[in-house]
Structure 1
Amino acid sequence: MKTERTRSQERILKLLKTLNKAISAQDLYIELRNCNQSIGLATIYRALEALKLEGVIQVRTLASGESLYSSVQQDKHHLTCLQCGQSIGINECPVHELETQLHQFHNFKIFYHTLEFFGLCNQCQIIQADHSKT
């Protein structure tokens, strides 16, 4: 049985769908205030948790520890630089078949998945190589 969403959850979900990008809870708070829809930060975190458990939003945790939230629209895959924090989207998905197998074998309802590789972007590799020469 589906639980009914609160007004705060509906506002947040609508904003995430409108923005069509990943955003932090703090930035959501600012966006909502700018739209004259003040919601307390604690309420935003509770709403995000409920929406995540419902499977309608996804969370991505950056190397810095910051969490970014977005509406579930498609799988997200990234190359993330540990030095500058740049995140490069990957369009290919090598794990769709694995997802199907896991769902069938474990009878586990999968809402979405993420795939992220961590390392150094080309620019940071050049900077690191220049520093090692000195």
Structure 2
Amino acid sequence: MLAGIDQVKEILKENGYKYTSQRAKVFETFVENSDKHLTTEEVYNLVSKKYPELGIATVYRNVSLFTKLGILDQIIFDDNIVRYELRMPHEGHRHHHLICMNCGKVEEFDVDNLDEVEKEIEEKKNFKIIDHTLKFMGYCEDCQKIEEKAKLNEKQ
């Protein structure tokens, strides 16, 4: 993830900010939890285990700055809780999410065949698309199996 750190340092420098030890600790937390969608409070709880001197206001400020600079993506699922995940601005589109409406499990997937749709929208609506997000709502494999077992038990 060294390239990631170098990119973050460059993004901060280009925008007049320094890569401080506090920013490094917040960024490190996202790197170590890159498979998760974290709330600011969760980031604070994880950071404070290693670095108890780091305050929640500092975490909030840095998460906000990283979001503004495109280092983090802000995600809001159907529970209306704001979560964040790492994103490098030069990586193109975000990945998409499968959300289980039963257990709340969130799974990521990277299939992106929407280039033609974007092109059509841009041409027909004269709208410059920078990015998009896509959420599929449904039931995960585990919840489907539980439902199938329940239906079988009802028939017996």
| Matched position secondary structure for 2:134 | strand
CA drift of 1:118 comes to 1.4
**What is the aligned counterpart of 2:66 among 51, 61, 78?**
51
Q: TM-score, normalised by structure 2?
A: 0.62
Residue identity (%): 20
The count of aligned residue pairs is: 132
Label 1:37 to 1:94 Cα distance change in 2 as closer, same or farther (>3 A): farther
Aligned to 1:115: 134
Secondary structure of 1:114's aligned partner = coil
Cα contact 1:32–1:39 (8 A) shared by 2: yes
Structure 1 residue 19 and structure 2 residue 33: aligned?
A: yes
The residue type equivalent to 1:3 in the other structure is G
Say which SS state the counterpart of residue 78 (structure 2) adopts.
coil
Q: 1:12-40 deviations in whole A, cap 9, x for unaligned?
A: 12332343233222221122112225322
Structure 2: which 5+ runs fail to align?
1-13
Is the alpha carbon distance of 1:121 and 1:17 closer, same or farther for their aligned partners in structure 2, counting shifts above 3 Å? closer
Q: Give the TM-score normalised by the residue count of structure 1.
A: 0.70
Distance of 1:121 and 1:16 partners within structure 2? 25
Partner of 2:8: none
The higher radius of gyration belongs to: 2
Specify the code of the residue in structure 2 equivalent to 1:62: F
Return the structure number with greater helix share: 2
Q: Which of 78, 91, 101 in structure 2 is aligned with 1:63? A: 78
What is the 5 A alignment of 1:2-41? 2-5=15-18, 7=20, 8-22=22-36, 23-36=38-51, 38-41=53-56
The answer to whether the Cα contact below 8 Å between 2:95 and 2:111 also exists between their aligned partners in 1 is no
Q: Is the 8 A contact 1:57 1:72 kept in 2?
A: yes
One of 95, 104, 111 as aligned partner of 1:85? 104
| 8 Å contact from structure 1 (residues 86, 121) kept in 2 | yes
Deviation at 1:114, TM superposition (A): 2.7
Take 1:92 and 1:84, find their aligned partners in 2: how far apart are those partners?
Answer: 23
